[in-house]
Amino acid sequence: MFRNMGEFTDYAKELFTVLSVPVPAGSRSGDVVHTSALIPAPASASASAPAPPRYLGKRACVESFYVLFGYRPSPSLFSGLFAHKDTGRCTGELNSAGGEGIDERTFLSFVQTCAEHEEALFMGGLNEAEARGGKMLCSVSLPSAWDCFKALAGDKDYVTLDDLLLADREGPFVGLGAGPDPRAPGQGAADFASAPFHISLRGRRHALLSHVFAILDTDGDGRVPFADIKHVLTSLLAA
């Protein structure tokens, strides 16, 4: 999904921005909590006050992990992440105040470490496969492929490109980075090039899904029945 660690980190930052929430003012050391019933905050002070630090809760961190890596993590993976008091200023202050969350620096360090571990496992699998004769074992079975096919196709007996694109937009980030509408006037290549990262990423994912669908759609009628998917999986299993 990601071409390099830089692209992975940029996307992880986007996830943190979307799912994180501001640290409660009362949990930041040295802050004075102003209320209308007590001491109103001066207008000039509130206008120039810096944005409060943000943190990512445990549930949001699990959702972010799922989006980045494509599977639900083991609960034990996060057992120590939210218990450390010294991982970061925001994290330490929030945890010591009875909350549960991590700051951006801690989150990025955590997911980057996980990504490096995933890459090491993947490369180890490739090396092991080469040692066995160069064949990779396909972990996708036909029954599981049928379940995925029916989830996409619904009541139809085929899958369309729209089915793939709509499924890609489901989940906790619905509406995020939907990308420019190619049919809308005034949206040229320059506008797309200067778009935020998550929008350009959505465009690349759209192109990737379109390419995959074109490979599966052997007769070019815009419909992919399960027989075509079964043929591809059978070829992979026999390779």
Q: Please check whether residue 107 is in contact with residue 113, taking contact to mean a CB–CB distance below 8 angstroms.
A: no
pLDDT of residue 67: 84
Domain ranges of the chain: 5-122, 142-238
CA–CA separation, 10 and 108 (whole Å): 10
What is the token pair recorded at 233?
């999986």
Helix (H) or strand (E) holding 226: helix 226-238
Q: For residue 213, how many other CB atoms are within 10 A of its CB?
A: 18
Q: What residues of the chain score a pLDDT lower than 50?
A: 28-41, 45-46, 85-98, 123-126, 129, 134-138, 172-198
pLDDT of residue 8: 86
The Cα-based distances of 156 to 151, 178, 212, 219, 238 in angstroms read 10, 25, 20, 18, 29
Residue 116: partners with Cβ closer than 8 Å, 6 or more residues away = none
pLDDT of residue 142: 65
The 10s digit of each residue's pLDDT in 120-131 is 655 444 455 455
pLDDT of residue 87: 43
pLDDT of residue 98: 42
Is the whole model's pTM more than 0.85, yes or no? no
Q: For residue 86, how many other CB atoms are within 10 A of its CB?
A: 8
Report the relative pairing of strands 224-225 and 158-159 from DSSP bridges: antiparallel
Read off the amino acid at residue 177. Answer: G
pLDDT of residue 32: 36
pLDDT of residue 207: 80
pLDDT of residue 1: 56
